Structure 1
């Protein structure tokens, strides 16, 4: 893939040192590590290798990636491998996309308690789906869920929500039948919304009572139980946003759809337009507007752009992709096999799809021949071999 004209790494390298100095003492170690990883990604600082075409002797240098899960360049390759692993789990049914979003008043609490509240978001949304799907009045089946956490809106604001990809049906409680949902309709979103609201608030209050929430600045008063209860009271009467998109079918469509969500970072390099010491301009989508007018440009102060990017750095150890129900890891293989048996389809066989192609073994850009590694060089060193043409690092961007 061709190198984007502008990258987040360019912004971090150009303005990162000044930003870190100005914000010393207010940046977490995890955020500093993410900045450092992105700045060094696919540069000589991480080492790399020299590859030569076995047919035409074309020679190129490829620098190592940082493999940080917040890096725009690394997540495309990670997504391909993850999708290849998921391919055998796909079922020949329609799939649905359901989104659970936290209200702004809860998002403010999540901002200061990311690990705890993000975990509650996963658990409450999954429990909601599994409970309503198991109800005979709606589906009456055990379903499988793949959940992906996103903490951002298109303008890089803090907007925590979970994307779920769910097959349109499940296994009956006795394990003897596959129960399909109604055509074009999975589960009632209003019922999902209200159960999600109740479950999440119950879990959040229990977490507060257990002393697991911290509050700072303007929210310091929420440490008091009565103030916290008063803060949550209006939320019991509002409708929480649960959105179900139209179904899409076929394994290829599911893989393509998943690839848009599983390993996405706060902003892709392809959305960046311009950068200087003072300003960053990027493309964003205003979801409140329909049609082509929703695509806009935004310009932020460079300091503010970096701040917004870094607020989406996940707490260490937090898993942002989780599986529930039939897809829970302990019993996923058995459940998939049983579902395929009930649907009367065999396990998929044959050649790997494009999603399974090893991105670490590119073909020659000149003749398409096989590239052979002829030299590996360590971090911070210069390769002995020289490239045939000016070096073009292999860069994979999320979009």
Structure 2
């Protein structure tokens, strides 16, 4: 077992053979994702050389690919996003609501990601806002952050939306804050039924407009009668909408978001081994008390499952709605803070924007003195050769 195993290692060793074997079935996005992860933090993407003038130590650092599907590149992106969002949090409890698509709808989503993912975002947000605005339930205008995930623990295709929602919102006349009951947000049976109805209506509209494609195992659904039967069947099922335990305050929300917003299908830390053309990785069995297990897949199947979760170019996987929508978020949050008597002492949990810290030189691993950049090269260039210190240094 090697803790240093990465998805990039798997793509470098077996990616070319996989691309050759599936040449007619790989799209542009999948090819680009594989190429980016293969090259991430290698000399091919460029980098810089830094050294210590005190002891002469030299260290090479390669550039990252910055692809949003790469397990190595999401840490910095998550930190930047959290820094921008920290000041948006309110001193109220936050709820975590999950909307999941049934399997027969998921198969349509896979072949029509841009259209169906957009419907998922729109109808889930509309469901929350409509039910919350109903005086029978809350009677408030809410805000939310929605994050798309498409994977299960074993890399199966499982599209679902994680929604982080403040526990309350402004009244309809905008004069007061209406808070949820403690540990209760909205009735989830009501949410589930409304989400199912809104989603199926939107899916039917997309079908009638000729926006959906069907091929392979679901090609027969292109027939209007077959599609109508599918909608009828899906409309009789219970759609899974559930809530996880509410967060205690803004700090917990930030900790959660740091794990979820920029997550990819599988983290490198879950990989166990690659041997004899097979990949072994860790997963948690949530149906049996989060029991840790290991799964071994043929390397081609592992790559296939990983690529199931690529997102179309230009598609935003994180979206904001209600008073957290991008257009007038600052003004709306200011109004919310006034309603909440928001001059809250820091001890009560008000999240403050993270201060930007100027980058400091990395210390030398040998003597601890600051390292300095002594050479840079870019994508397509050859790394510079030494020596990097002259005798007078």
Query: Does the 8 Å CA contact 1:375/1:385 hold for their aligned counterparts?
Result: no
- CA drift of 1:366 comes to 5.2
1:218-297 aligned within 5 A: 218-291=217-290, 294-297=291-294
Assess, with a 3 A threshold, how the Cα gap between structure 1 residues 18 and 202 changes in structure 2: closer, same or farther. Answer: same
- CA drift of 1:370 comes to 4.4
Assess, with a 3 A threshold, how the Cα gap between structure 1 residues 359 and 107 changes in structure 2: closer, same or farther. Answer: farther
- CA drift of 1:5 comes to 1.3
- CA drift of 1:367 comes to 6.1
- 3-state SS in 2 of match to 1:296: strand
Counterpart of 2:150 in structure 1 is 151
Counterpart of 1:395 in structure 2 is none
Does residue 383 (structure 1) correspond to residue 384 (structure 2)? The answer is yes
TM-score by length of 1: 0.90
Counterpart CA distance in 1 for 2:53 and 2:336 is: 46
1:316-358 Cα deviation digits (max 9, x unpaired): 11110000001110011111111111112249797836xx667
- 3-state SS in 2 of match to 1:246: strand
RMSD: 2.3
Q: Which is worse superposed, 336-345 or 201-210?
A: 336-345
Assess, with a 3 A threshold, how the Cα gap between structure 1 residues 99 and 386 changes in structure 2: closer, same or farther. Answer: farther
Query: Does the 8 Å CA contact 2:69/2:264 hold for their aligned counterparts?
Result: yes
Query: Does the 8 Å CA contact 1:248/1:254 hold for their aligned counterparts?
Result: yes
1:237-260 Cα deviation digits (max 9, x unpaired): 211000111111222211110011
1:56-67 aligned within 5 A: 58-67=57-66
1:66-93 Cα deviation digits (max 9, x unpaired): 0000000001110011001101101111
Counterpart of 1:71 in structure 2 is 70
Assess, with a 3 A threshold, how the Cα gap between structure 1 residues 360 and 298 changes in structure 2: closer, same or farther. Answer: farther
- CA drift of 1:373 comes to 2.4
Which runs of no fewer than 5 residues in structure 1 stay unpaired? 389-399
Counterpart of 1:352 in structure 2 is 354
Counterpart of 1:186 in structure 2 is 185
Assess, with a 3 A threshold, how the Cα gap between structure 1 residues 88 and 21 changes in structure 2: closer, same or farther. Answer: same
Counterpart of 1:397 in structure 2 is none
Query: Does the 8 Å CA contact 1:61/1:387 hold for their aligned counterparts?
Result: no
Assess, with a 3 A threshold, how the Cα gap between structure 1 residues 322 and 198 changes in structure 2: closer, same or farther. Answer: same
Structure having greater relative contact order (Cα 8 Å, sep ≥ 6): 1
TM-score by length of 2: 0.92
Query: Does the 8 Å CA contact 1:15/1:277 hold for their aligned counterparts?
Result: no
Counterpart of 1:392 in structure 2 is none
- 3-state SS in 2 of match to 1:62: strand
Counterpart of 2:207 in structure 1 is 208
Query: Does the 8 Å CA contact 1:52/1:372 hold for their aligned counterparts?
Result: yes
Counterpart CA distance in 2 for 1:368 and 1:123 is: 52
Counterpart CA distance in 1 for 2:26 and 2:280 is: 23
Counterpart CA distance in 2 for 1:387 and 1:357 is: 30
Query: Does the 8 Å CA contact 2:91/2:351 hold for their aligned counterparts?
Result: no
- CA drift of 1:287 comes to 1.9
Counterpart CA distance in 1 for 2:19 and 2:269 is: 25
- CA drift of 1:230 comes to 0.6
Counterpart of 2:347 in structure 1 is none
- 3-state SS in 2 of match to 1:288: helix
Counterpart of 2:316 in structure 1 is 319
1:76-225 aligned within 5 A: 76-225=75-224
Counterpart CA distance in 2 for 1:369 and 1:122 is: 50
Query: Does the 8 Å CA contact 2:87/2:353 hold for their aligned counterparts?
Result: no
Counterpart CA distance in 2 for 1:201 and 1:63 is: 47
- CA drift of 1:184 comes to 0.5
Query: Does the 8 Å CA contact 1:94/1:250 hold for their aligned counterparts?
Result: yes
Question: Matched residue pairs, number?
Answer: 382
1:18-46 Cα deviation digits (max 9, x unpaired): 11111111100111010000000011001
- 3-state SS in 1 of match to 2:287: coil
- 3-state SS in 1 of match to 2:331: helix
Query: Does the 8 Å CA contact 1:286/1:295 hold for their aligned counterparts?
Result: yes
Counterpart CA distance in 1 for 2:231 and 2:84 is: 41
Counterpart CA distance in 1 for 2:388 and 2:280 is: 34
Counterpart CA distance in 2 for 1:338 and 1:367 is: 53
